[in-house]
Structure 1
Amino acid sequence: MTDLNKKIAKEDDEFDLKKLLAQFIDHWKLYVFSVLFCGIAGFLYVRYSTPLYTAHAKIVVQDEQNGSASFLGGGAMADFSKIFNMKSNVDNELEILLTRDLLEKVVKELNLNISYWRKGRIRAVEVYDQSPFNVSFLPAKDSIIAISFNIDFHNLGADNKFDISCESQFLDTTFSAKFGDIIKTSVGTICITKTGQPFEDAGYYFIVRSTEDLLTSIRASLEGVVTSKTTSVINLSYNSNVPKKAEDILSRLISEYIRRNITEKNQISDSASVFINERIAIVSQDLNKIESDIQSFKQANNIANIPAQSQALIDNASEYTEKLNEIEVQLNVNQSTLDLLRNDATGNRPVPALVSDPTFLGLVEKYNLLLAQKEKLLLSTTSINPLSQNIESQLKNLRKDLIQSLDNQKKAMQIAKDKIVNENSQISSLVKKVPVQERRFVDLSRQQSVQQALYIFLLQKKEETAITKASNIPTASIIETPKCDYYAYFPQPKTVYGISLILGLLFPTGYIMLLAALSNRILKKEDITDNTQCNILAEIGHSDKAGLLSMSDDMRSVLAEQFRIFRTNMDFLTGQKKCPVILFTSSMTQEGKSFISANLAQIYAYTGKKVLIMELDLRKPRLSQMFNMPNDTGFTSFIISEKPVMEFINPIPTSPGVWLMGSGPIPPNAAELLMAPIVIPMFEELKKQFDCIILDCPPIGAVTDAQILSKHSDVNLYVLRQRYTFKRSLDIINDLVENNKFPNLYLVVNDVKKEGSYKYGYGYGYGYGYGYGDSTSTKKKKSFFKSGKR
């Protein structure tokens, strides 16, 4: 028999996957219900979840990192920026794009503080630009908590009346008003007007949120990424439940960014324009004064034209006069620019390029570009940043160079002027001969020419500045206009249904595994074989038919075949014994000892043997009741009497060939009766009268009766019941085997369900029968064990 069990164990080990699957097949209904439930939940989730869409836009930024090297110190400055982990121009522009100032302008321009919603049966839908009404809200405080207002329009808005209500900890009230009315509340003033969109037969409400709260939400949904380190393209994306809203936010954000970029570039031109306009006003006043003096001089001296004799002298002096005028203009511009540089205490005012000296113009260009770089850098860094301090130092050095250049030019022009004045003095000596009136006229004309030249020069610079401002273009340009995806990225039906299917399988699997891990009952064969070395002799399946097998109807059922296999295995153990004694015990009651012993007796009797079954569970006898036999006399009566043992044994009418020795009256000292000296000759006598003796003993886990009787038995059978016997009961078996307290001990597993995780050793879990309707009944009857009869 040991070889047989080893063979069965080996076969079981070869089908580990089947053993694993068998644990779950028993709960197929649970799997079906779980998959259906999760599938329906997934469908409802997809159907009623608020879809979210993503809008995308791309802008390209002119990366000025290389161009700025000329005034940042070239390659050395580039290395310096790497040391301090300075961001590129694209990264700086990305930071500017995501600043709070730009987002706040977007919120105000689009009036995002107020969102409009239409109620539905399951969820509400934001209507955004399709709202039939518009709300103007003036908050009472700068910051408010999000508040929802419900609106009930009368007759779909046709009555021009509505009811507005709010149930909040800050405001709990209801108002009735008309369109255009001013509604004053504790949180702010509300005015509601129509937009022209049709009203639907549904409830509406709007939510008022603070700017700070909304900015936090927008920042969480807005993402900007530089697509590559080798390009200057910024990819912007925004997530929203309304596609049009996402596109509008991105469009407005880019527009505000470009407007700000143009404004920054125009600051230099605007500063130069202001300076030039100021100088034009001053020069214009001087020129008007000189022209007025000339007019007064001519009127006072009655001068209509210049005498012919004076014309020649003036012609000779014209060349020197032109040179002197040019020097005077240059000196005036030089002094004005020098005053600008010296009087600008902050050093943040751009220098206009009014002096034509190439060296000076180069310094001015560097100075203005470096000043623009400083202002842009301060948007993303602080003034104490090493690069900011370096730029400030360069600005100071350039300012000194500019002042020094202007001083040098002034000295050179002053020398040239002195030379011209010296030469002109010779001409002046000749002019003395000219009448005083004509000489005075020449002086006034000379002053007029100087102021006219300066005035024309300033007008030219003004036009140049205006052209420069008009030609300014933004640093960034749109290469992909904001566009929302056609399909929502959330929820994704395939993903949701996939997760629903997985969860539908995981939930019952986890439940079954957790149940198995926490269960303290024997559920599968491995619970026995892994915890005890005792061999399994037989496995008896579950039967919906309670009680004994019918000798006429049930002998061809699956259960009968299992008992036949049981009997065959017993023949291997008992060998050639004339009358083997078979003892049945278990850990506790309700494990099926009486049921198995009674049916095994019938199977033996079916072969023509004379079988005796002894009801030795003297405390709780059940065999007599099972066979419907009286239990007035029996073993206890025999022990206290002197009559032959056969007088206490009765044949069972319903089971030919089976005899029963009842327990008799329940004694107070059952163990002592079993140890009586008369028991030994009793068994010797019974072995002569019968072909097989079966002992139905009490549970060994409760009393010692079975151990006392084991010395009279040839084979000891320990009954275990699937889903009923505790796993700790196997410790009793191990103790009995290890200490040799119970020789020839084998296991019988009872109530094995074919659809369960317990695997049959001989294939009867697959419904084997004779093929013509004699298999186990499939009617849903109450189990005999559960009814307390088995």
Structure 2
Amino acid sequence: MSTTNDVNTSASANVAAAEKESEGSMFNVKWIFTTILATWPWFVASMAIAYLIAYMYLRYAVPIYKVGNEILIEDTRTNSNASAEALVLSDLGLHNQTDNINNVMRSFRKRELMEEVVRELGLNIRYFEHGRFKTGEFYTNNPFKVFVADSLVEGIGGTQSYTFVFDKDGSFQYKPTGTKEYLSGKLNEPLTLQFGEVKIVKTGYPLHYGTEYEVTLSNTATSALTFAGRIGLSRPDRSDNTINITSTDELPKRAIDVINVLVEVFKVADTAEKNRFAKHTIDFIDKRLEEVKKDLVSVETQLKDFKQDNQYINIASQSDMLIATTGEFSKKLSEAQVQLEIIKDIKQYVKNNGNLHEMIPTTLFIEDNNLTTYLVEYNNLLQERARKEASYQEESPVIKAIDKELKTARSIILENIKTLESSLNIQLDKLEERSANLNSQIRAVPKKEMQALDYTRQQSIKQELYLYLLKKKEETAVTQAATISGVTVINTASNYGAIYPDKGRIKNRAIIIGFLIPMVFFSVRRLLNNKVIAKSDIIPISDIPVLGEIGHYKDEESQIAVKRNSNTAMAEQFRALRTNIQFLLPDPDDKVILLTSSMSGEGKSFAAINLAITFAISGNKVVLIEFDLRKPKISKHLGVDNTNGISGYAIGKYDLNSIIVPSGVDENLYVIPSGHIPPNPAELMMLPKIDQMFEQLKKDFDYIIIDTAPAGLVTDAVLLNRFSDTCLYIVRQGYTYKQQIQLANDLKDTGRISKINFVINDVVFNRGYSYGYGYGYGYGYGYGYG
């Protein structure tokens, strides 16, 4: 007997473990599918409503279009119009095309460029028409136009908006948008608004009388900020020099115009920037030419006066040999002196605080690459500062950081000039040393010829410098004349199509959201529910196996759900429960089945009656004992006389055979009623007569089924457990609290009721259920459960 019980206990544990593992892996999928099947009208309705909302949104949503073009940035190394700085940096490996393209992309975002676009296209005045569900905007096809002085618009602080309603007689009503009171006005007549006087003129496009129109006016800076935010710049292929410029807008034609005009404005600005540097260089050269010209005229005048005063001494005839010998030397000396003069000019230019934010000419100096590189880098910093000034204040950390770099660069330039001056002076000292040798030869020439030769040498130096400056001015002027923008349009702006709303994506999301709303609702409701709804609510919190599931019984007149030859779903459920019990009790000596629950009303007596009938109709001789001595129900449900029963037998008033009565339901089913309700049921169950009763019943019957009081209320079930071979703990769907499962766990863990199994009662199967595959949310209650 004990071995068999151990086997049965092990089998129950194995069943519980298998169920727990199965539910753990299948619960989510099973629950989702069963929930959908049980409540599919909610899902269909929710998805239909969500789809309808998406459809209405798409019908009245204003589409946004994407427009773009493609431009080519000239390579600074191959462009004949490239600046000297770019060429020098490229030669020295300090400049690359990627930097150039990035600079161009940054330049396209300059505020001044978009402000010029706004002015050219008139984007600071926008026109709208309000429909019943949708507002549309005009561009070049507005039915009326607001004429206003540019200075007045620029004086608007941000944006002002006005609503107009036109009448057929040429009058109109208007008000600042957001206010209630309308004012009157007439077409083609002056109208005073908050910021100044304007005139409203009808255009050739249709004007809908009685319709609300809205006009927004913004200053150029505000409008430029709006449209600049829609511009996108990207490099589709970093291996080439192309840039894509895109813009998004409700009006694709406006976006196309904005991009095309932006490119043209950039070209003009780019060319102007290049010419500005060239002009600055020419101005510098002109200033030096004036100074050198004065010096040259002075020397030539002195030479002329000397010749006149000395009856024109023919130096050539008297000193041909000397001049021929010293010609090459004079040229080198002149070149060195020219270089030194240029270095001194640049030095004075850099030291002059008035030129702090002016670029330093670099085309004048070609003899020292290091100095040229530093000058180019300095000019690049100045250009970067100019670009940043468009976006930052003078006192901003960004501008201050650049100014700090400029100060450092000027110090480096002055240090290099100092070094170069020293080098040139050393070179001149060596030339002067050779000059001493030449002078010893010149002393042999008559004094007046020597003076004439000195004047001639000074004239030669000034002429060399003057001719050098003229040459550089000519080169710079030619470059300036040929300057063009480094941007070429490959593909003009075109409409890529609507990017918003994405109809397919919005509809798909609507359907998904429509599905998720009821799913989330049912999930939250399930999580917040504190009662047992399904087997999956028990498995995570208990190791006790669920032995069977009994459906909802609708007949309120009778508690007998199982009859001989019955093929109902209820009968099949009790047959399945019987089979599971027989599997747990394979030994013929294991025949006592105890039924209890947590509280009254969970269907314990109903389950006991029908389980007893199920065993009886299978040919087993069964006795059903009404051991719920406190609140007996079985005798009432079966119509059995309750006068003679257990309470009378226990005290010796009746013998056992006299209290065993036929059930009247099946010939194999007998009942032992409770008898009169005793004052001390627990003590009665401990009497020796009860032990004797069970010993005799085990000899006379195949199965003994005990209906006892709820274990959550009294100790009757624990007292009778000494006679049972297995205990069925009844749990009612939507009635038993989840925390009451812990009571069954405690009974098992403490050994008070060791061989315990759950049976879920009153399960609603008719909403998407297949037997044994989950549960819905119905909460029907049968008559007389208890």
TM-score in terms of structure 1 length: 0.68
Contact 1:42/1:497 (8 A) holds in 2: yes
| TM-fit CA distance, 1:243 | 0.8
| TM-fit CA distance, 1:565 | 3.0
| TM-fit CA distance, 1:233 | 2.6
State how 1:382-393 maps to structure 2 within 5 Å.
382-386=402-406, 389=410
Q: Secondary structure at the match of 2:140?
A: helix
- Change in Cα spacing, 1:214 to 1:578, as seen in structure 2 (3 Å) is same
Residue equivalent to 1:161: 171
How far apart, CA to CA, are the structure 1 residues paired with 2:554 and 2:644?
33
| TM-fit CA distance, 1:584 | 0.7
Contact 2:143/2:207 (8 A) holds in 1: yes
Residue equivalent to 1:174: 182
Residue equivalent to 2:163: 150
1:713 maps onto 2:724 in alignment: yes
| TM-fit CA distance, 1:270 | 6.2
Residue equivalent to 2:262: 253
5+ long unaligned stretches in structure 1: 280-333, 405-417, 424-459, 768-779
How far apart, CA to CA, are the structure 2 residues paired with 1:124 and 1:678?
93
| TM-fit CA distance, 1:32 | 3.7
Identity across aligned pairs (percent)? Answer: 28
Q: Secondary structure at the match of 2:748?
A: helix
| TM-fit CA distance, 1:701 | 1.7
2:71 to 44, 59, 79: 59
Contact 1:592/1:785 (8 A) holds in 2: no
How far apart, CA to CA, are the structure 1 residues paired with 2:89 and 2:217?
53
Contact 1:25/1:755 (8 A) holds in 2: no
5+ long unaligned stretches in structure 2: 1-7, 289-337, 388-398, 426-447, 454-470
- Change in Cα spacing, 1:150 to 1:464, as seen in structure 2 (3 Å) is same
- Change in Cα spacing, 1:467 to 1:610, as seen in structure 2 (3 Å) is closer
The one-letter amino acid paired with 1:595 is F
Contact 2:378/2:409 (8 A) holds in 1: no
2:550 to 529, 532, 540: 540
- 56-65 vs 369-378, which moves further: 369-378
Contact 1:116/1:131 (8 A) holds in 2: yes
1:479 maps onto 2:490 in alignment: yes
1:196 maps onto 2:204 in alignment: yes
Q: Secondary structure at the match of 2:229?
A: helix
Contact 1:144/1:187 (8 A) holds in 2: no
Contact 1:585/1:698 (8 A) holds in 2: yes
Residue equivalent to 2:755: 744
How far apart, CA to CA, are the structure 2 residues paired with 1:528 and 1:492?
46
The one-letter amino acid paired with 1:694 is I
How far apart, CA to CA, are the structure 1 residues paired with 2:715 and 2:166?
86
Contact 2:156/2:195 (8 A) holds in 1: no
The one-letter amino acid paired with 2:157 is I
The one-letter amino acid paired with 1:53 is Y
| TM-fit CA distance, 1:55 | 1.4
Cα deviation code 1:61-99 (max 9, x no counterpart): 3343786576886579644x79xxx98233222222111
1:785 to 768, 781, 785: 781
The one-letter amino acid paired with 1:60 is L
| TM-fit CA distance, 1:704 | 1.3
1:243 maps onto 2:252 in alignment: yes
| TM-fit CA distance, 1:599 | 1.1
The one-letter amino acid paired with 1:220 is G
2:136 to 125, 134, 137: 125
Residue equivalent to 1:113: 124
Q: Secondary structure at the match of 1:748?
A: strand
Cα deviation code 1:161-213 (max 9, x no counterpart): 22223454xx5542122223444344555543222211247533233445554
Q: Secondary structure at the match of 2:722?
A: helix
Residue equivalent to 1:135: 146
Cα deviation code 1:107-151 (max 9, x no counterpart): 233332333222234332222333212234676884535454332
1:588 maps onto 2:599 in alignment: yes
How far apart, CA to CA, are the structure 1 residues paired with 2:481 and 2:48?
68
Contact 2:531/2:735 (8 A) holds in 1: yes
1:99 to 110, 114, 122: 110
The one-letter amino acid paired with 2:213 is Y
Contact 1:523/1:758 (8 A) holds in 2: no
State how 1:564-643 maps to structure 2 within 5 Å.
564-571=575-582, 580-607=591-618, 611-624=622-635, 626-627=637-638, 642-643=653-654
Residue equivalent to 1:282: none
- Change in Cα spacing, 1:176 to 1:654, as seen in structure 2 (3 Å) is farther
- Change in Cα spacing, 1:398 to 1:63, as seen in structure 2 (3 Å) is farther
The one-letter amino acid paired with 1:385 is E
Q: Secondary structure at the match of 1:485?
A: strand
1:496 maps onto 2:506 in alignment: yes
Residue equivalent to 2:386: 379
Q: Secondary structure at the match of 2:566?
A: coil
How far apart, CA to CA, are the structure 2 residues paired with 1:366 and 1:566?
96
Residue equivalent to 2:299: none
Contact 1:591/1:720 (8 A) holds in 2: yes
How far apart, CA to CA, are the structure 2 residues paired with 1:567 and 1:135?
91
Contact 2:591/2:725 (8 A) holds in 1: yes
| TM-fit CA distance, 1:371 | 9.9
Residue equivalent to 2:709: 698
Cα deviation code 1:208-239 (max 9, x no counterpart): 44555444433332222344554333321112
| TM-fit CA distance, 1:596 | 0.8
State how 1:337-348 maps to structure 2 within 5 Å.
346=354
- Change in Cα spacing, 1:15 to 1:728, as seen in structure 2 (3 Å) is closer
- Change in Cα spacing, 1:343 to 1:27, as seen in structure 2 (3 Å) is closer
Contact 2:77/2:87 (8 A) holds in 1: no
Cα deviation code 1:221-276 (max 9, x no counterpart): 22223445543333211122221121122122222211222323444676799999
Residue equivalent to 2:216: 207
- Change in Cα spacing, 1:715 to 1:16, as seen in structure 2 (3 Å) is closer
- Change in Cα spacing, 1:242 to 1:662, as seen in structure 2 (3 Å) is farther
How far apart, CA to CA, are the structure 2 residues paired with 1:275 and 1:38?
73
The one-letter amino acid paired with 2:484 is I
How far apart, CA to CA, are the structure 1 residues paired with 2:158 and 2:652?
97
The one-letter amino acid paired with 2:109 is L
- Change in Cα spacing, 1:185 to 1:631, as seen in structure 2 (3 Å) is farther
| TM-fit CA distance, 1:560 | 0.7
How far apart, CA to CA, are the structure 2 residues paired with 1:500 and 1:690?
65
Contact 2:111/2:225 (8 A) holds in 1: no
- Change in Cα spacing, 1:551 to 1:499, as seen in structure 2 (3 Å) is closer
The one-letter amino acid paired with 1:257 is F
- Change in Cα spacing, 1:463 to 1:125, as seen in structure 2 (3 Å) is same
Contact 1:367/1:398 (8 A) holds in 2: no
Aligned length in residues: 674
How far apart, CA to CA, are the structure 2 residues paired with 1:227 and 1:713?
82
| TM-fit CA distance, 1:491 | 2.2
How far apart, CA to CA, are the structure 1 residues paired with 2:176 and 2:133?
21
| TM-fit CA distance, 1:544 | 5.0
Contact 1:545/1:781 (8 A) holds in 2: no
Cα deviation code 1:10-38 (max 9, x no counterpart): 59967976554321122211544444444
State how 1:350-369 maps to structure 2 within 5 Å.
none
Contact 2:563/2:571 (8 A) holds in 1: no
The one-letter amino acid paired with 2:261 is R
